A and B are shown apart, each in its own frame.
Chain A
Amino acid sequence: MHPASSVIIFTTFSGLGFGLLFWLGIGAITPTGLMALIWFAIAYLAAVGGLLASTFHLGRPERAIKAFSQWQTSWLSREGICAVATLLIMAAYGAGLVFFDTVLAPLGWLGAAGALATVFTTAMIYAQLKTVPRWRHWSTPALFLALSVGGGALLGGQVTEALVLLGLAAALQVYTWVTGDTRLARSGTDMASATGLGHIGTVRAFEPPHTGTNYLMREFIHVVGRKHAQRLRIIAVALAFVLPIIFLLVPFSHIWGALALVSHIAGVLVLRWLFFAQAEHVVGLYYGKR
């Protein structure tokens, strides 16, 4: 899959923003007044900024409002509804903290559940796709949730929780790589089933439909970055998990905390790039590629 920067930025930063909203919602941090304003501004900047970035992926972004209508079947529609509902609920909860020094706990809990639902529905957009066997697995939403809540804990200064969740996310990430690398081969979809010609012999793509490239090849067949995939995996794990955990384990100071956060965000950006760049769409089989 083509690793579009709009979608990488969207999933990374809105994941982080909704992760922080989760911790704010459950009352792990209950700032008031100006401090509350700053906390909520950070969370909304990440969450809304990410959502705005995702609209750059659209061909006709001016019609984006229509995307809230098909929640009965579409995970993308569900995600839009969850995101907007969560942002509205948490805005009311945040207003209570900022202007009235009041903790509206039930509203916060509802917002926290909404934040988790938003991240889950985002992940399901990918996990639902039978056409990308690497993504179609329970570990996709599990990893998205662990990264979001773990990143949110890091951003929200929840040191113990961040340590546990980053460790869990790292384990899930390694698990998705180990099992995901062979999932296309195990999916049963290959050039023989794509063409239905396997009963005659070995199928080889002889000539593509056109001498040039096309939308399908640009969108679904991304092989350029795979050359460095193994090195990028090591870099990503070091940045997203290993360094932040080390920085959190040294005696706490805000410098180490900030470094842990910056390193984690850089690592998750690399992870998301790999998430797309390494994902093989079955349509590539028609082109003899994957």
Chain B
Amino acid sequence: MTQLPASTAKKLGLVIDLDTCVGCHACVISCKGWNTENYGAPLSDQNAYGADPSGTFLNRVHSYEVQPEVGTAQLIHFPKSCLHCEDAPCVTVCPTGASYKRVEDGIVLVNEADCIGCSLCAWACPYGARELDAKAGVMKKCTLCVDRIYNENLPEEDRVPACVRTCPSGARHFGDLGDVDSDVSQLVAARGGFDLMPEQGTKPVNKYLPPRPKDVMPEYDVLAPFLEPVATDGKGFAHWLDKALSALPGGAK
């Protein structure tokens, strides 16, 4: 059914810490590994060892350079997968009912046996969370590792999404964001977690934690203020050369 549930019992999702993510792409690899070997059509690659490799991924890590008005630029690694939105536009556009949002935990899933590969759900998603698999011809997306989190054949510590389990820097957290007392909800409240593209009105369940402000290194060298690093009023030949070159057409002033 492509009608969204009015509310879900739980809101399972991820909290991604942009402060601690080191951009190692381990979550990308573990996601691809688990979701190729387990539920649904494998995540295929095309021309994997050729000149123009391409493949299906449910989780991708972007890197952004952010330049503040003063100070040096910051590099921020930015993992992005399905945000399991409360108002998921990908679900309502589906013509076949293959896309649905679960009432019990809010996970957005695709029933691959019903998917006709029309791509409209991927068009409706502002986050690029859905990818049409070129081999299987059906839409693939993050399942929040629904075949791990309830899997009693796995040790308890493994009953989290593969990306969360593998993250070496502890930048990914999994839990019920509908429960204000859960660890993830408290983390979001403490760190000022935010939504991606809130103006799109999708009400994403996944939250992102902003990078912490950079601290400023205090000056510890007592002599440093007395050492002028660059002479601004040169003398002699160098001064004459500087002025002569500056006077030439197109010369630096």
Contact = CB atoms under 8 A, between A and B. Distances in A.
Given A200-B68, A203-B66, A66 B96 contact: yes
B67 A73 contact: no
A32 to B, nearest CB: 38
B20 interface: no
Contacts of B124: 128-131
B64 to A, nearest CB: 5
B167 interface: no
Interface in A269-290: 281-283, 286-287
A128 B89 CA distance: 10
A260 interface: no
B195 interface: yes
A60 B115 contact: yes
Given A59-B132, A131-B125, A213-B54, A76 B118 contact: yes
A285 to B, nearest CB: 9
Overall SS of chain B's interface: loop
Contact of A205 (B64, B68, B134): B64
Interface stretch (B75-83, B228-236, B243-251): B75-83
Interface string A202-219: 111111111011111001
A160 to B, nearest CB: 38
Interface in A17-74: 57-61, 63-64, 66-70, 72-74
B33 interface: no
A209 B94 contact: no
A196 B194 contact: yes
Contacts of B127: 283, 286
A63 B133 CA distance: 16
How many B residues touch the partner, as a band? 35 or more
How many A residues touch the partner, as a band? 35 or more
A193 B95 contact: no
Given A196-B194, A215-B56, A59 B64 contact: no
B2 interface: yes
A70 B95 contact: yes
A66 to B, nearest CB: 4
Contacts of B117: 58-60
A131 B53 CA distance: 27
Contacts of A74: 2, 92-95, 120
A-B residue pairs, 5 tightest by C-beta: A59-B117, A59-B137, A209-B60, A201-B68, A77-B95
15 contacts: A59-B117, A63-B115, A69-B95, A187-B199, A193-B198, A195-B64, A195-B78, A197-B210, A201-B67, A214-B54, A214-B60, A216-B128, A219-B122, A283-B126, A283-B128
Interface of B: 1-3, 18, 28, 52-57, 60-69, 73-76, 78, 80, 89, 91-98, 114-120, 122-128, 131-134, 136-139, 194-201, 208, 210-211
Interface of A: 1, 57-61, 63-64, 66-70, 72-77, 80, 125, 128-132, 187-189, 193-197, 199-210, 212-216, 219-220, 281-283, 286-287
